[in-house]
Amino acid sequence: MDVEEALEFVDHLALTTTGKHLDSLQKAILCGTWNNQKYKEIAQHHNRSEKYVKEVGFKLWKLLSVALGEEQVSKANFRAKLENLQASNIVSLVGNGCIHIGNISADSSQSSKKLQSEPQDKDKFHEKTSNSEPKIHLDLGDAPEPNLFYNRTSELTTLENWISSRTRLITILGLSGIGKTALTLQLIPQIQHEFDYIIWRSLHNSPPLASLQTDIIQFLSQQQETELPSLIEYLRSHRCLIILDDIQTIFSSQQLAGNYQPGYENYGTFFKQIAESSHNSCLILLSWEKPREIAALEGENRPCKSLQLNGLGTEAQEIFREKGLAEEDKWSQLIDLYRGNPLWLNIVATMIQDLFGGSVSEFLSYDTLFLGDLESLLEQQCDRLTEPEKQVMGWLATPEPADISKIPENLQLSPPELLKVIQSLGRRSLVETVKQNGRSYFTIQPVIREYIINKTRSKN
């Protein structure tokens, strides 16, 4: 077996196990491993961080361990295990895009869910591989194409644990571009074996709840003509994962966070039913702001959880490496200024490359924070604010964190009104809490501060 045959075999194995082909970095890791390269060499050759390559490699060996029924496949033994399997006639390459693994035949021209098997014998390897084949129905038609994914190991682990413990309703919150969609797309291959059905729907066009439910039921019923049960009955009889993206589109603008548009209030009832009813399924919501019902339903030991997605840390350096920026010692300053938001950092890194030849220090020498294409993204979120929220954002647009016990006279808000506004801004991920001397102070991110200041200047 040579490296090309090994790649072909592992690619088929990944497809039959996860429903996805290997990506370019996974192939690079396999090729490098086959040729006795260290992670550091693979990372340098492909302009990735060594830490990130190690994490991708770890997940790849874990996948192969499960798929092959081996106790542990690792970088150290990967080549030897494949060559031993071939020598034992467990693996054979027969051409025409077809691979035989014991008595199992995997054909690249077929979907991963159409893996065919002949009558089983007592071969343990065959039994484990056959059992690992997930019998799931996927409808990811509304899911966007996956973007480059940056390390979110802790967040993925949290979500996997919640799903394994049968959490019924999960809300993933964060500003536009923070990585909610990318995280969820990365999650699916890791947990899909737990479900019978996985469905992704975008609410970008604000579908009425009845229309959305009918669409989902039609997929779950596989177009049966008989009288269809309700959605909650399907969620009880099958283990389903439903992902709803762009939840914020069913909320009203110029109202406090989480208030529904007229005619969409039944979504709140639906979310409550999912969280409180007894069933086997899970609903994941992706949103800029938190639905009102969630705060009352969630808790440590309750089947409703929220994950506030924050920016990347040092992992964001991968963005600058891919963009070819210079002066690595300045990258942490960029990450802090743009709060590790992957989309924001991609936009800024492109601008630095285009206008400053990749020089980060030259960019940072300017007194003002560059927004550029970020302005239109921020405008979408800030235009949703109420007038009191806009006033409070203007008050918070100073370098020093604000003490909400000292309300400026020009705000003309009572303490209860101010607390409501601060809570709403928090649910929109637009304010940050800072602890000083045991007290909580509030501030906003530098990028949002710059946007608010620019808007104020343009009005004056």
Q: 103 falls in which pLDDT band (50, 70, 90)?
A: very low
Q: Contact at 8 Å (CB) between 180 and 286?
A: yes
* 3-state SS class at 307: strand
pLDDT in tens, 316-334: 998 998 888 989 999 999 9
Q: 345 falls in which pLDDT band (50, 70, 90)?
A: very high
- By C-alpha distance, which of 127, 130, 92, 135 is closest to 111? 135
pLDDT in tens, 169-194: 999 999 999 999 999 998 998 898 89
**If you average pLDDT over every residue of the chain, what do you get?**
83
Bridge partners (DSSP) listed for residue 171: 285, 306
pLDDT, residue 311, reads: 92
User: Cα(151)–Cα(53) distance, rounded to whole angstroms?
Assistant: 10
Q: Contact at 8 Å (CB) between 30 and 6?
A: yes
- The CATH number that domain 137-308 falls under is 3.40.50.300
| Torsion angle in degrees (nearest 10) through CA of 70, 72, 73, 77 | -110
Q: 277 falls in which pLDDT band (50, 70, 90)?
A: very high
* 3-state SS class at 163: helix
pLDDT in tens, 51-82: 778 878 888 888 888 777 655 788 888 888 88
Which residues touch 215 (CB under 8 Å, ≥6 apart)? 201, 207
User: Global pTM?
Assistant: 0.71
Averaged over 387-395, what is the pLDDT? 94
SS (H, E, C) 319-384: HHHHHCCCCHHHHHHHHHHCCCCHHHHHHHHHHHHHHHCCCHHHHHCCCCCCCCCHHHHHHHHHCC
Residue 356, burial from CB neighbour count under 10 angstroms (0-12, 13-18, 19+): middle
Q: What is the DSSP string of 29-97?
A: HHHHHHTT--HHHHHHHTT--HHHHHHHHHHHHHHHHHHHT-S---TTTHHHHHHHHHHTTSEEEEETT
pLDDT in tens, 240-263: 999 999 999 999 999 999 999 999
pLDDT at 128 over 60: no
pLDDT in tens, 16-43: 777 778 888 888 899 999 898 988 888 8
Domain residue ranges in the chain: 3-131, 137-308, 314-367, 376-459
376-459: in CATH 1.20.120.530: no
